[in-house]
Amino acid sequence: AIMSSEKNEHFKVYEQPLEGGFRSLRFSPALEIEFRQDYLALIRGRVVSCLIAVIVLMAWVMVTREPKPAGSAIDPIAAQLLTWGMRPLSLILMVIALVPLLYRRLWVTAAPLLLGGMAIIGSYSAAQKVASGNTDVFIAMVCGYLGMYMLAGLMFWQVLAVGTMTTVAYLFFLQAAGAPAEAIGFEAFIICAMTGLAIIFIYNLEHTLRRSFLQQHALEHLSNVDALTGLKNRRVFEESLEMLWKQGMRDKQPIGMILIDVDHFKNYNDLYGHAAGDRCLKTIGGLLRGAVKRPLDMAARLGGEEFALLCYGSTRKHVSALAESVRRAVVDANIPHAASSAAEQVTVSVGAVFVQPGIGRSSQSLYQFADEALYAAKSNGRNRVEVLDDGYSNIVTGAFKVN
């Protein structure tokens, strides 16, 4: 299992099943939904290719097969099932697979039901032919079942259910059609062995895919978050800022940025020790994580004792209120700080800016504008909020103030 000395709740979602195992091939409800979305995206190319191959094969058979001799016996029930069962089910299955929206929403639940119905219809037709002496159709049926199990993207529990139901149905239809006992025994052995091997194969394949899913997402999470606080790291923050800046230009939406710096943090570390300093930063990180409530907003640790919040499509009033609520939350945490000249407890200086992205400016200049606001908060006594939305056009990119 992937280990980390600083674990957070999001990472544990992936780590716990890696450590505890998942023999039942099921995750927690939220994680199961996430896995199935990834799984559907992974297998879609295979499913579509399989269906196209089936369509081509069916077209080839229809063009090349010889006409049936006049008076040849055709089982009327099999003919009706083919016309009113197999063909509609096949059409519905193809439509779901080929339409992306339907595929994402319906494939996991609809595919096993449709394939199960088609398999039972095929079993009935095959049993009638085998009972009348055409044993070659059994080979075609086995190949069809293998294709269904391996290529249609069914998961283990679905293969187990469909495979068991199809096997029982086929053997029942053979018995009902009056097939010879030796034929039933032989074909029962073959179809049970084939189904059993397919179930074992699908179980091992899905187990491997689930483990790979957990490991990949755990590693991605570790590379995107700050290990100490669980917030996004600076790299992700800068990438998100650039993305939101471009999106804001397209959608004509403003962006707010809030920079937070812990006042006299070096003095805090010197007095209380680095372990206490880490606990202090983790507490502040938790407060910032709780402050982010909208989908495109973000909290990040930029490094050391500096944090940041991004607010997309907000208002100046909201950005200002959020900045003040962060400052007040840190004060209310009441972490003693005897080496601070700003207060008797740990405090933060907060610089907030609110701008409309435009041509000729960049996300880097927005960050620098926020740094100007933070510098003003520190210069004016710390433990305060400074909000700027004027003077942005005068910012010279690259000329940061140093406190």
DSSP code per residue over 334-358:
--B-TT-SS-SB--EEEEEEEE---
pLDDT, average across residues 208-214: 93
Say whether pLDDT at 242 is over 70: yes
pLDDT tens-digit map of 248-305: 998 889 999 999 999 999 999 999 999 999 999 999 999 998 888 888 889 999 999 9
| Residue 204: alpha-carbon gap to chain centroid | 22
Quote the pLDDT of residue 399.
43
Quote the pLDDT of residue 36.
92
Say whether pLDDT at 2 is over 60: no
Tell me whether residue 312 is exposed, middle or buried, using C-beta atoms within 10 angstroms of its C-beta: 0 to 12, 13 to 18, 19 or more: buried
113, 77 in Cβ contact below 8 A?
no
Mark residue 279 as left, alpha or beta (left: phi above 0; alpha: psi -120 to 50; beta: remaining): alpha
- String of DSSP letters for 52-101: HHHHHHHHHHHHHSPPPPTT----HHHHHHIIIIIHHHHHHHHHHHHSHH
Choose the weakest-confidence range: 33-42, 79-88, 252-261.
79-88
141, 134 in Cβ contact below 8 A?
no
- Residue that has been written with the tokens 């210069």 in this structure: 379
Sign of CA dihedral 193, 194, 199, 203: positive
Choose the weakest-confidence range: 66-70, 124-128, 140-144.
66-70
pLDDT tens-digit map of 212-226: 999 888 887 778 888
Quote the pLDDT of residue 292.
86
Percent of the chain with pLDDT over 90: 41
pLDDT, average across residues 149-156: 81
Q: Which residues pair with 310 in a beta bridge?
A: 257, 298
Say whether pLDDT at 11 is over 70: no
Say whether pLDDT at 177 is over 50: yes
What is the band of 122 on the pLDDT scale with cuts at 50, 70, 90?
A: confident
Higher pLDDT, 79 or 395: 79
Quote the pLDDT of residue 365.
84
pLDDT, average across residues 229-250: 90
Higher pLDDT, 87 or 142: 87
For the whole model, what pTM was predicted? 0.65
pLDDT, average across residues 123-145: 79
pLDDT tens-digit map of 302-340: 999 999 999 998 888 999 999 999 999 999 999 999 999
Per DSSP bridges, beta strands 255-262 and 298-303 are unpaired
- How far apart, in Å, are the Cα atoms of 345 and each of 26, 201, 322, 332? 47, 61, 21, 9
Quote the pLDDT of residue 76.
80
- How far apart, in Å, are the Cα atoms of 154 and each of 67, 102, 207, 244, 347? 36, 16, 13, 38, 55
Quote the pLDDT of residue 65.
54
Quote the pLDDT of residue 394.
54
pLDDT tens-digit map of 339-392: 998 899 999 999 999 888 877 778 888 888 899 999 999 999 999 999 987 655
Average pLDDT of the chain? Answer: 84
Quote the pLDDT of residue 204.
94
Quote the pLDDT of residue 337.
95
Mark residue 185 as left, alpha or beta (left: phi above 0; alpha: psi -120 to 50; beta: remaining): alpha
Quote the pLDDT of residue 153.
83
- Residue that has been written with the tokens 């907030």 in this structure: 352
pLDDT, average across residues 155-173: 91
Quote the pLDDT of residue 335.
95
